[in-house]
Amino acid sequence: MRRLKPKRESWGSRLGIIMAVAGSAVGLGNFLRFPVQAAGNGGGAFMIPYFVALLVLGIPLVWIEWALGRYGGGFEHGTAPGIFHSLLQKNRFVKYFGVIGIFGPFVIFIYYTFIESWTLGYSFYSLKGVLAQLHDQSSIQAFLKGYQGLEQNSFFSNIGPAYLFFIATFFLNIFVIYYGIRGGIEVLCKIALPVLFLFGIILAVRVLTLGAPDPARPDWNLVNGLGFLWNPDFSALKSAKVWLAAAGQIFFTLSVGIGVILTYASYLSRGDDVALSGLTAVSMNEFAEVILGGCIIIPAAFVFFGPVDVQAIAKQGAFDLGFVTMPLILGKIPLAAVLSFLWFALLFMAGVTSSVSLAQPAVAFLEDEFDISRKKAVGIFAVVSFVLCQPAIFFLSRGVVNELDFWGGTFCLVLFGTVETILFAWVFGMDRAWEEIHHGADIAVPRVYKFIIRYVTPVFLLVILGFWFYQEGL
């Protein structure tokens, strides 16, 4: 006899799901990826395509995913294949498009948790005072390489502690998912997110009061540091690359286009609001990204290293900026150990509230579609992802992370976002879609969004995809 399915889980409160979605959105991307993208793509001018992408891609996709997720949850489906199927039951093939919505987050989970585990290790070594003793770039670089256990075998002996921190991080993730939506993810995000904001505000205030620390270099001051990131270089707007980078950053930072929000929203009840809740989570993310992310790392690096070096460091990417430059900077000001602990603990909390959201689609898929218990689903997920993390740990080079980040963290998001938008606005139908977004809503979405979701969002997405295919010669 077929076992009676237990009722699907649900969120404990409205605040709970908003914090969980904001927790997924606020991640390493806000503090490491955003400043590098902004500094490298026209500074203040980057904010123009960034806000355009937020308004015509990000926010519409957030509403689409919240509405679609809640709709699918009503059919007891929490992941893209089932949700797409419930949207269009006549079509047997549409569900296969949804596979990206499980596979994509799973791929990101594999490398994201590993990088997240460095932030835990770095928090520990900050508190121990080890990081504050490394005063030059090369010793921190050596520490980082050894710590990663990558690339240079001479530092390989350090893989031991790195591995321990990975195990701790991995099992913390599993533990949270095991306790479920309400008892695990919601509890974690309600605690970690406020603490993260507090640490971020402390760090931002500290950086904003740095002034010009080197008397010999009065022009390396905070105002110029902020200007370095925010002064617009309008010529950058002519470059398609800058527009792509802005769209990519919006997708990554809001966690849209990958099936994660779909899954979270599937645990809503039919009468719950999606319009205002979705917008609230977006606002929290933007505060963390533009205000906190924009005020910490680049201005701080500027006042100590000057414009030329910051440009060079930003070119090397987010890793060096976060894991090499930041400890060096903090090492130069009083209370270095405490501040560097705040920085890495902030990154760790931002990371863990995002990585659990990357794990949940695979777990929900096993539970919903194979009718197995959460315990079993989490067990299977833990074993498979643990095995797949091993090559990532031992053979991962920055090149591979960048490659995975592009395909898993950028390309897949845009592709999946396009499929979702077309399905929702055109196949399901814009009138029904509009009604879905408004069902139980606490705000009225401006009517112009009916037009945007129907025409502007899909056209913008198709142009981006077309451009990529053209550029990559695919």
Binding stretches for ligand PHE (CB under 6 A)? 24-25, 27-30, 105, 108, 252-253, 255, 258, 260, 354, 357-358
CB of 31 to ligand PHE, least distance (A): 8
For residue 11, which phi and psi values (nearest 5 degrees)? -70, 150
Q: Which is nearer to ligand PHE, 106 or 305 (CB)?
A: 106
- Name the burial class of residue 67, with classes exposed (0-12), middle (13-18) and buried (19+) by CB atoms within 10 angstroms of its CB: buried
With vertex at residue 48, the alpha carbon angle to CA 226 and CA 287, rounded to the nearest 5 degrees, is 60
CB of 130 to ligand PHE, least distance (A): 26
CB of 220 to ligand PHE, least distance (A): 30
CB of 408 to ligand PHE, least distance (A): 9
Q: Which is nearer to ligand PHE, 297 or 358 (CB)?
A: 358
43 has which bridge partners?
Answer: 232
CB of 18 to ligand PHE, least distance (A): 15
Q: Which is nearer to ligand PHE, 258 or 326 (CB)?
A: 258
CB of 283 to ligand PHE, least distance (A): 15
Q: Which is nearer to ligand PHE, 304 or 343 (CB)?
A: 343
Q: Which is nearer to ligand PHE, 325 or 355 (CB)?
A: 355
CB of 169 to ligand PHE, least distance (A): 15
232 has which bridge partners?
Answer: 43
CB of 451 to ligand PHE, least distance (A): 27
C-alpha to C-alpha distances, 129 to 10, 79, 123, 160, 295, nearest whole angstrom: 43, 44, 10, 19, 25
Q: Which is nearer to ligand PHE, 173 or 253 (CB)?
A: 253
Q: Which is nearer to ligand PHE, 30 or 221 (CB)?
A: 30
**Which residue minimizes CB distance to ligand PHE?**
27
Q: Which is nearer to ligand PHE, 280 or 354 (CB)?
A: 354
CB of 28 to ligand PHE, least distance (A): 4
> How far is 397 from 32, CA to CA, in rounded Å?
18
Q: Which is nearer to ligand PHE, 21 or 337 (CB)?
A: 21
Residues near 51 by beta carbon (within 8 Å), at least 6 away in sequence: none
